[in-house]
Structure 1
Amino acid sequence: MITDKQHLEKDISDLLNKYATGTLDKQQLLKDFILSTVLYNWEDPEPEEIIPLKEGLDEIRNSIAMFKKFKYNFKISIFGSARTPIDDDLYKLTVEFSQKAAQYDFKIITGGGPGIMAAGNIGAGPENSFGLGLKLPFENNSEVFDNHPHHLTVFKHFYSRKLTFYRESQAIVVMPGGYGTMDEIFQGLASIQTGKINIRPFVLLDKPGGQFWYKFNEWVEETLGKDKYIDEDDLRFYSLCYSSDDALAVIKQFYKHFFSYFILDNRLFFQLKIKLNDQQLSELNNFAIVHNFSEFCYIRERYFNFGTLHVYSCQINDSHYCTSIRKAIDIINNFQ
């Protein structure tokens, strides 16, 4: 066996020169990926250590292929209990929300199973929704996708499945549920809080007069908040709603003027649907200075098939920037 890293890198480069497509940057990423894989093999891993890596990669690759032609479609992930029966008010509310979301051309992503998941897919219809199924001994995937198998990816592993939920969605709606639902909520909120995923609408939806999320929020405030395990501003990362219209209003308001953001080398880039006038930019910069950002400056226009985006950028000087970004988005969306 050749264990010379320099020779290995040359062999990989020769292989990619023969078979790879795309830009040089993409080829470098592939080279690093293959190099990491072979170096791992040199560490003599056991088969049971390799299998979950290979399976997870296949699951992620299959899900990326499923969503590829829907890259620019707005998508909402719905979480909730697999045990919710068809005649339950929460099931009906999920169907209603998904139907209304589909009317705005929003795609729905669910776990592809029964209960709330089936309600989300049925409401939007299989042509407007996707399932990220999970292999479980006690739960079958929904029959919604029997005639649309290309809208269903089945996972063995939670980590690759949850990665896909958050990677592909621009909003999260959570109905009442059990351990799995709580896992999805807290991983999502922790990932937003720490900047591992971008901030997005995170709606906890209950029926009118429902107590589930009210009690959840009360516990978060009274226990996590008062005991200083989270900051008060961390409560801004989710919203409580009690109707499908209210949930959709929260999502639409979040994307009223704001479109997306990304961070590159400690610089924050906002992509907006509007070009700010002098007064609006001044107001945003007054906020930025107070919250340890540099002033925003206009960078450029970007043109897409869905419209034009205006890019603004500033320097981030605060390690706790996520709540400040959330507040800045609210300021932008409140501009008239």
Structure 2
Amino acid sequence: MNRLPDPSPSHGGSRPDKKSGLSAEEETQEEIDRLPSEAIGEDELNRPQPADEPISGIDSQDLFKLMRNTINRLEKDETARGDIKILSRTLRELRYAFQVFRPYRRRRKVTVFGSARTAPDHPGYQAAVDLGRRMAAHGWMIITGAGGGIMEAGLKGAGRDASMGLNIMLPFEQGANQYIDNDPKLVTMKYFFTRKLMFVKECSGVVCLPGGFGTLDEACETLTLIQTGKQTMIPLVLLDHPEGSYWSDVGKFFEKQLLGNGMISPEDRALYKVTNSVDEAVNELLTFYNVYHSMRYVRDELVLRLRTSLSDEHMEHLQIEFADILVSGKFELRGPLPEESGEKELAAYPRLVFRFNRRALGRLRMLIDDINGRPETSTLPTSSR
């Protein structure tokens, strides 16, 4: 874990405590280091959370204490009012968003990105309507930016009951659309970074349709979060209408400029799928959870929760095919780890446990595809992947 930066003397850094010899910042860092990794968000579990999940006692109280200490230090530091306004607004936005999403955390959700300017008669608009309708029929909810164009289309297809919106305050083109306006599942935010956090934190998959700078930003940030392990593995689909070439052209750029110049690894192409078919997009989302359910880290081990166990033959295959992603040891099938005792609803699921190198995220995606019964994707994907 990165240490907090040493305060610059020119900015009034904290004096060391006479008893401990530590500065206030160092004491705070020691408090953080004593917390379980998942308590500070390092290994946040990506799964539908129980709506009635209780506060986890002393761990959460420690976090509240850290937050109060940080607020007190902001005051002692004589932090500029403009900086405090950013912090205050951020905290209020996220608190409210957490409350809105909390009742729906048992349900899978797909976040849909795309242009606000796509007209209703455009084939891309209809593709988003079809996607929303199909995913809602499978019990998923749809999250969009609540504006017009693709955002409107996804919610139109899903219907109000299966729709959630994360609107952004802009001086132009961003009123909430008719399918989510005045709905209690609509959150309006000032900052893009809080909005993008909620888009990815609360979903089990992402589909990007064509769009402008904002859509490209959202697609690339999602891809970056997955590639760096900041986001637990989810399916990412780059979807165009049948005659479109938007994402295939982007894919060619990735191949020529990023892969061709060694800026990404060949396996990184497994982290996303380019398609012109809503059927393929829906299949990509649903089959990702055929066997795989969710993941978390417990100390230095990665734990994959599975809906069904794996055969001895399949385990032997994994030991050979994916040995390159292991730091040491081998893949093991186990029951729940003691650290998972608070997650009763997952107790029946078998676990695939191994020491992952935390670098080869493309290969990890290939492993999940292989577990899901899609061995063809355990080889390097083509440019259309």
Do the two structures share a fold, i.e. TM-score over 0.5?
A: yes
- Provide the secondary structure at the position in 2 that maps to 1:55: helix
Tell me what 2:224 maps to.
190
Tell me what 1:167 maps to.
201
Tell me what 1:295 maps to.
330
Moved more, 267-276 or 279-288: 279-288
Identity of aligned residues (%): 30
Distance in 2 (alpha carbons) for counterparts of 1:324 and 1:217? 19
- Whether the aligned pair in 2 keeps the contact of 1:112 and 1:132 (CA below 8 Å) is yes
**Distance apart, 1:264 and its partner CA:** 3.1
Match of residue 258, structure 1, among 292, 297, 320: 292
- Provide the secondary structure at the position in 1 that maps to 2:349: strand
Question: CA offsets, 1:137-192, max 9 Å, x none?
Answer: 102121222352x1100000011000000000010000000000011011111111
**Distance apart, 1:38 and its partner CA:** 1.4
Match of residue 369, structure 2, among 323, 330, 334: 330
**Distance apart, 1:310 and its partner CA:** 1.6
Distance in 2 (alpha carbons) for counterparts of 1:283 and 1:242? 33
**Distance apart, 1:306 and its partner CA:** 8.8
- Provide the secondary structure at the position in 2 that maps to 1:236: helix
**Distance apart, 1:253 and its partner CA:** 1.8
- Provide the secondary structure at the position in 2 that maps to 1:172: strand
- Whether the aligned pair in 2 keeps the contact of 1:95 and 1:122 (CA below 8 Å) is yes
Question: CA offsets, 1:91-138, max 9 Å, x none?
Answer: 111001100110000100000111100101111011101000000110
- Provide the secondary structure at the position in 1 that maps to 2:309: coil
Tell me what 2:176 maps to.
141
Match of residue 284, structure 1, among 314, 318, 331: 318
**Distance apart, 1:335 and its partner CA:** 6.9
- Provide the secondary structure at the position in 1 that maps to 2:170: coil
Match of residue 26, structure 1, among 47, 56, 60: 60
| Structural RMSD (CA) | 2.3
- Whether the aligned pair in 2 keeps the contact of 1:133 and 1:141 (CA below 8 Å) is yes
**Distance apart, 1:289 and its partner CA:** 2.5
Distance in 2 (alpha carbons) for counterparts of 1:52 and 1:249? 41
**Distance apart, 1:305 and its partner CA:** 5.7
Distance in 2 (alpha carbons) for counterparts of 1:172 and 1:66? 20
Aligned length: 321
Q: Which has the higher helix share?
A: 1
Q: Which amino acid aligns with 1:334?
A: G
Distance in 2 (alpha carbons) for counterparts of 1:84 and 1:304? 44
Tell me what 2:212 maps to.
178
- Whether the aligned pair in 2 keeps the contact of 1:126 and 1:151 (CA below 8 Å) is no
* Runs ≥4 residues deviating over 3 A: 3-6, 301-308
Distance in 2 (alpha carbons) for counterparts of 1:249 and 1:130? 22
Q: Which amino acid aligns with 1:204?
A: L
- Whether the aligned pair in 2 keeps the contact of 1:113 and 1:133 (CA below 8 Å) is yes
- Provide the secondary structure at the position in 1 that maps to 2:167: strand
- Provide the secondary structure at the position in 1 that maps to 2:161: helix
Distance in 1 (alpha carbons) for counterparts of 2:197 and 2:189? 11
Call closer, same or farther: CA 1:52–1:277 in 2, change over 3 Å.
Answer: same
- Whether the aligned pair in 1 keeps the contact of 2:229 and 2:358 (CA below 8 Å) is no
Question: CA offsets, 1:56-79, max 9 Å, x none?
Answer: 111111111111111110000000
- Whether the aligned pair in 2 keeps the contact of 1:288 and 1:295 (CA below 8 Å) is no
Distance in 2 (alpha carbons) for counterparts of 1:96 and 1:81? 16
Q: Which has the higher strand share?
A: 1
Q: Which amino acid aligns with 1:322?
A: L
**Distance apart, 1:290 and its partner CA:** 3.1
- Provide the secondary structure at the position in 1 that maps to 2:313: helix
Distance in 2 (alpha carbons) for counterparts of 1:215 and 1:83? 20
- Whether the aligned pair in 2 keeps the contact of 1:78 and 1:108 (CA below 8 Å) is yes
Unaligned residue ranges in structure 1 (runs of 5+) = 10-20
- Whether the aligned pair in 2 keeps the contact of 1:82 and 1:116 (CA below 8 Å) is yes
Tell me what 2:254 maps to.
220
Equivalences for residues 58-73 of structure 1 within 5 A: 58-73=92-107
- Provide the secondary structure at the position in 1 that maps to 2:188: strand
**Distance apart, 1:214 and its partner CA:** 1.0
Distance in 2 (alpha carbons) for counterparts of 1:67 and 1:143? 20
- Whether the aligned pair in 2 keeps the contact of 1:298 and 1:312 (CA below 8 Å) is yes
Tell me what 2:352 maps to.
312
Q: Which amino acid aligns with 2:355?
A: Q
Q: Which amino acid aligns with 1:291?
A: I
Tell me what 1:202 maps to.
236
Distance in 1 (alpha carbons) for counterparts of 2:78 and 2:274? 50
Tell me what 1:17 maps to.
none
Unaligned residue ranges in structure 2 (runs of 5+) = 1-14, 28-54, 376-385
Q: Which amino acid aligns with 2:333?
A: Y
Normalised by the length of structure 1, the TM-score is 0.89
- Provide the secondary structure at the position in 2 that maps to 1:29: helix
Normalised by the length of structure 2, the TM-score is 0.78
Moved more, 103-112 or 270-279: 270-279
